[in-house]
Homo-oligomer: A and B are copies of this chain.
């Protein structure tokens, strides 16, 4: 399925590209018996473990801007998949990269590879194989990430129980604010803009937090589509409702300088934060604080029996989370 015409001085042949740009040096992964270079990668699991597998596609012009820094794109392509593993409490082991490029730009590829493999090595996640193709319209990236969890220990969306606390890591809405800045919808100081765009383009997957929440959290999901939307997935899967205290929803100092409607729009419905949203029994609070270590976490609400989601502001008035104001900025 590979187009073998060369676009520049480097062939699109998988081997040439992989050898030159995607050779990992330092990841020794016991789980990968055979990596890139054959028809399949060969993996061995361990007794008493399950594989957790996730796949995500990123398209130029839909999920990232054409002028994104290549290293940031490489980082984010893997980060969004590691975030899915984190939401299951899985330890990353390896990934496959399928990439379609309109042409071979060596500087771009070198940057992309640096961002991608930098994050991979930080998590000891091996590039086990992939596919390279020539695309006609923009860059197309699909990564499939694979991690492991002790059998039965994966954090699922379906485990939230009535009375559970609702927690979220980090702060919400920064990526949406960075996106609004990138689209010239708001103005920010250079320092603030840099911080927010970094949150959009270099998200931190909460891998270690996810692993440490195994056996403590009752459910988890990563916030990729926005707090309200992703919490609804958990509530639907668990057959429960929730009340969220808007004043407790964590917002960065930069976001807090914005008008309250922008704060709500970004923190409640903005996507791409890749923080962990999780539930746990209220008698697990000390364990959760210990599991979080240096990562800031906040208790933002409670799981309820009524199949409904309410976000209450400081006056106890429901915030409207259904209006058009809560659509994604991008597209």
Contacts and interface: CB of A to CB of B under 8 A. Distances in A.
Range of interface residues on chain A?
35 or more
B1 A80 contact: yes
Interface in A35-76: 37-45, 47, 50-59, 61-63
Interface in A226-280: 229, 237, 271-272
Interface in A105-155: 128-131, 133-138, 140, 142, 144, 146-147, 149, 151, 154
Which of A40, A58, A271, A330 has the most C-beta atoms of chain B within 10 angstroms of its own C-beta? A40
A261 B50 CA distance: 52
Given A134-B62, A140-B140, A157-B38, A55 B237 contact: no
B44 A50 contact: yes
B57 A224 contact: no
A318 B172 CA distance: 66
A53 B129 contact: yes
A47 B142 CA distance: 30
Interface in A317-331: 327-328, 330-331
Contacts of A4: 225, 229, 327-328
A25 interface: no
A33 interface: yes
A42 B1 contact: no
A133 B59 contact: yes
A3 interface: yes
A136 B137 contact: yes
Contacts of A331: 3, 5, 134
Interface stretch (A84-92, A176-184, A190-198): A84-92
B327 A5 contact: yes
Copies of this chain present: 2
A187 to B, nearest CB: 26
Given A5-B331, A63-B1, A100-B59, A43 B53 contact: yes
A58 to B, nearest CB: 7
A18 interface: no
A144 B57 contact: no
Contacts of A88: 38-40, 42
A96 B53 contact: yes
Nearest to A158: B38
A156 interface: yes
B221 A39 contact: yes
B225 A142 contact: no
A63 B130 contact: no
A222 interface: yes
A10 interface: no
A63 B157 CA distance: 37
A2 interface: yes
B131 A59 contact: no
A11 to B, nearest CB: 12
Interface string A1-34: 1111100000000000000000000000000011
A307 interface: no
Contact of A55 (B130, B140, B221): B130
A54 B39 contact: yes
Contacts of A85: 39-40
